[in-house]
Structure 1
Amino acid sequence: MVIHNIAVIPGDGVGQEVVPESLKVLETLAEIHDGIKFEFTDFPWGCEYYLENGSMMPEHGMDNLKNFEQIFLGAVGDPRLVPDHISLWGLLIKIRRECEQVINLRPAKYIEGVKSPLANPKDFDFVIVRENSEGEYSEVGGTIHQGADEIAVQNAVFTRKAVERTVRYAFKLADSRNKKVTSATKSNGLIYSMPFWDKVFHEIGQEYTEINTETNHIDALSSFLVTKPASFDVIVGSNLFGDILTDIGAAIMGSIGIAPAANININGKYPSMFEPVHGSAPDIAGKEIANPIGQLWTAKMMLDHMGYDELGKLLLDTIEETIGAGVKTRDLGGTSSTREVVDEIVKRLKRRV
C-alpha cells in the first residue's frame, strides 16, 4: 500500500464546498486502484483566518506545507473581507513562490454537454504552459511623488533560466500530445523582453525538430483562440500572457467553473499545488450550486502528476460522461447541486470498473 500525504486548503467561498466533495472522489479512486491511499491534512487558512490572526497563514505555515507530497487548494480570496493583493500574495502566490512552482498548466477542451459560446468549437483540446515565477509579475518597481507628479514603475524580469525551462517543458509536453507548440509573444511592442523570449523559443525549438512550431503575437493569438481553437495543441507564454490566455480558454469551454490548473514544481524539492481557476465566488458560496468540475479536473491533474495517468483518465472520462448525461450544475444549464453532481460521478466511477 502506497500512502500519499496531501495538504488540503479549502480556502474561501465555494472552495469550502467543492474541496470536501472532491476528496470523496479521490478516496473512491484510491479504493478502485486498491494499492494506494490518500491521507488528507486540512489547513483552515484563508480570509477568515486572516481576520482572526492578521495573516493568511501562520508564521511557520510554509515549513509545514513543504513536508507534504502535494497541495490541493480550493480557492483564495474574498474582497469583501480582505483586499485581493493581501489574500493572494499572503497565500496563493506565497505558496507558488516558496515551493518553487515555476510552471502553471491549464488545459482547455470541448466537453459534450457544456455549451460553448463558440458557434463551431470543433472539439478543441489544448494546454497552456505559463511561466509562473517572474516576468510581468516580478516584484520589482515602486512609486514616487504624489498628486500630478505621482509615478508608478513596474518592471518585468525575464531570465534565461526561467524562459528556457518553461519553453522546454512545453516542448516535452507537446511531444506526448500532438507535437505542436505555439509561442505567445509581443515582440513588435515590447522591444527587449519579447525578442529575448522569441530567441530562446527558437533555440529550444531547434532541439525538437519533430515538433511543429509557430509564434503569434498575443493580441492575434487571443483572437485565434476564439476563431480557431482546434488548431492549437500546446501554447507557451509568459506569466501575464499565460494568465490572460487561460481565462480565454475557460471562457470558450463554456464556464470558468470547469477549468483546472496546476502549479508545478519541476525539481522535486517541494510539492506542486493543484487548484481550479474559478476563484472563491463569494456571491454563491453556501448555496450548494457551485460547480465541482473545476476542482475535480484539478484532482485529475494531480493524479497525472503523481503518475496515476489511468486513474486521471478514468476520472475525466467519468466527468464527461456525467455531464453528457445531463447531471450538471446551474452554470452549465443543469439543475443539480454540488453534492448531486459528485455523488453521480462517484456512482459512475464504481460502475465503470
Structure 2
Amino acid sequence: MKKFEIAAIPGDGIGKEVVPVSLHVLNTIEELHGGLKFDFKEFPWSCDYYLEHGKMMPEDGLETLKSFDAIILGAIGNPELVPDHVSLWGLLIKIRRELEQSINIRPAKFFKGLQSPLVNPKDFDLIVVRENSEGEYSEVGGRIHRGEDEVVIQNAVFTRKGTERAMRYAFELAKKRRGHVASATKSNGIIHSMPFWDEVFNDVRADYPDIQTASYHIDALAAFFVSRPQIFDVIVASNLFGDILTDVGGAIMGSIGIAPAANINLNGKYPSMFEPVHGSAPDIFGKGIANPIGQIWTAKMMLDHFGEIELGRKLLDVVEDATNDGFKTPDIGGKASTIEVGDEICRRLKRL
C-alpha cells in the first residue's frame, strides 16, 4: 500500500471552503482504491493566524512541512486585515522559495460543461511551465529618498541554472504530450534578461531534436492564447510572464475558479505544493458558492505527481462530466453549492 502524509493549509477566505471538499474527494478515492492511503494534517496558518501571532506561520513551520509528502494549499490573502506583500511573502512565497519548489505548472484546456468566452475554442489543451524561484519576482532592489526625489529599483534575476531547469522540465513534459515547446520571451524590448533567456532556450532545445519548438514575444503570445490557443502544447515562461499567461489560460477556459497549479520540488528533498490559481475571494466567503473545481483539479495534479496518472485522469473526467451535466456553482452558470458539487463528484467516483 502507498501511504502519503499530506499537509493541508486552507488559508484564507474560500480556501477554508474548497480545501475540505478536495480532501473529501481524495478520501473517496482512497476508499475505492485499496492500494492508497492519505493521512491529512491541517494547519491554521492564514491572515487570521497573523493577527493573533504576528506572523503567517510559526518559526518552525517550514521544518514541520518538510516531513510531509505533499502540501495542499487553499488560498492566501485578506488585504483588509493584512497587506498582500506581508501575507504572500510570509507564507505562500516563503514555502515556494525555501522548499525549493522551483517549477510551477498550470494547465488550461477546453473544459466540458463550461462556456468559453472564445467563439471557437477548438479543444485547446496546453500547459504552462513557469520558472518559480527567481526572474522578475526576485527580492533584489530597494528604495531611496521620498517624495518627488523617490527612486525605486526592482531587479530581475535570471540564473542559467534556474532558467535551464525550467526549460528542461518543459521539454521532458512535451515528450509525454504532443511534442512541442513554445518559449515566452521579450528580447526585442528587455535588453539583458530576455536575450539570455533565448540563448539558454537555444542551447537546451539542441538536446531535444525530436521536439518541435517556437519562440514568441510575450505580447504576441498573450494575444495568441486568445485567438488560437489550440496551436500550443507546452509553454515555458519566466516567473512574471508565466503568471500572466496562466490567468489568461483560466479566462479562456471560462473561469479562473477552475484553474489549478502545482509548485514542484525537483530534487525530492522537500514536498511539492498544490493550489488553485484563484484567490481567497473574501467577497463570497461564507456563502457556500465558491467553485471547488480548481482545488479538486490540484488534487488530480497531486495524484499525477505521485505516479497515479490513471486515477488522476479518471478524476478529471468525472469532474468534467459532472460539470457538463449541470452540477456547477453560480460563477460558471449553475445553482449548486460548493458542497453539492463535491458530493456529486464523489457519487460519480463511486459509480466507476
Q: Structure 2-normalised TM-score?
A: 0.99
Corresponding residue of 1:280: 280
In the TM superposition, what are the counterparts of 1:79-158 in structure 2 within 5 Å? 79-158=79-158
My pick for the range that moved more, 26-35 or 285-294, is 26-35
Structure 1 position 3, deviation (Å): 1.6
Runs of 4+ in 1 over 2 A off after TM superposition: none
Provide the C-alpha distance between the structure 2 equivalents of 1:314 and 1:117, rounded to a whole number of angstroms.
26
In the TM superposition, what are the counterparts of 1:161-310 in structure 2 within 5 Å? 161-310=161-310
SS in 1 for 2:37: strand
Provide the C-alpha distance between the structure 2 equivalents of 1:19 and 1:147, rounded to a whole number of angstroms.
44
Gaps of 5+ in 2: none
Identity of aligned residues (%): 68
Provide the C-alpha distance between the structure 1 equivalents of 2:113 and 2:318, rounded to a whole number of angstroms.
13
Provide the C-alpha distance between the structure 2 equivalents of 1:239 and 1:327, rounded to a whole number of angstroms.
34
Q: Which amino acid aligns with 2:2?
A: V
SS in 2 for 1:296: helix
SS in 2 for 1:215: strand
Gaps of 5+ in 1: none
Provide the C-alpha distance between the structure 1 equivalents of 2:2 and 2:322, rounded to a whole number of angstroms.
29
Structure 1 position 36, deviation (Å): 1.2
Does residue 159 of the first structure (1) align with residue 159 of the second (2)? yes
In the TM superposition, what are the counterparts of 1:291-330 in structure 2 within 5 Å? 291-330=291-330
Structure 1 position 146, deviation (Å): 1.4
Q: Structure 1-normalised TM-score?
A: 0.99
CA contact (8 A) 2:11 2:44 kept: yes
Provide the C-alpha distance between the structure 2 equivalents of 1:306 and 1:102, rounded to a whole number of angstroms.
18
Q: For residues 282-329 of structure 1, what are the alpha-carbon distances to aligned partners after superposition, in whole Å with 9 as ceiling and x for unaligned? A: 000010000000000000000000111111011000000100111110
Provide the C-alpha distance between the structure 1 equivalents of 2:125 and 2:211, rounded to a whole number of angstroms.
17
Structure 1 position 148, deviation (Å): 1.1
Q: For residues 120-161 of structure 1, what are the alpha-carbon distances to aligned partners after superposition, in whole Å with 9 as ceiling and x for unaligned? A: 111000000000000000110000011111000000000000
Structure 1 position 186, deviation (Å): 0.2
Provide the C-alpha distance between the structure 1 equivalents of 2:230 and 2:283, rounded to a whole number of angstroms.
33
Q: Which amino acid aligns with 1:351?
A: R
Provide the C-alpha distance between the structure 1 equivalents of 2:325 and 2:91, rounded to a whole number of angstroms.
37
Structure 1 position 113, deviation (Å): 1.1
Provide the C-alpha distance between the structure 1 equivalents of 2:198 and 2:105, rounded to a whole number of angstroms.
20
Corresponding residue of 1:340: 340
Provide the C-alpha distance between the structure 1 equivalents of 2:47 and 2:70, rounded to a whole number of angstroms.
22
Q: How many residues are matched?
A: 352
CA contact (8 A) 2:113 2:321 kept: no
CA contact (8 A) 2:261 2:276 kept: yes
Provide the C-alpha distance between the structure 2 equivalents of 1:87 and 1:118, rounded to a whole number of angstroms.
35
Q: Which amino acid aligns with 1:26?
A: L
Q: For residues 174-203 of structure 1, what are the alpha-carbon distances to aligned partners after superposition, in whole Å with 9 as ceiling and x for unaligned? A: 010000000000000111100000010011
Provide the C-alpha distance between the structure 2 equivalents of 1:323 and 1:285, rounded to a whole number of angstroms.
22
Structure 1 position 112, deviation (Å): 1.7
Provide the C-alpha distance between the structure 1 equivalents of 2:202 and 2:255, rounded to a whole number of angstroms.
34
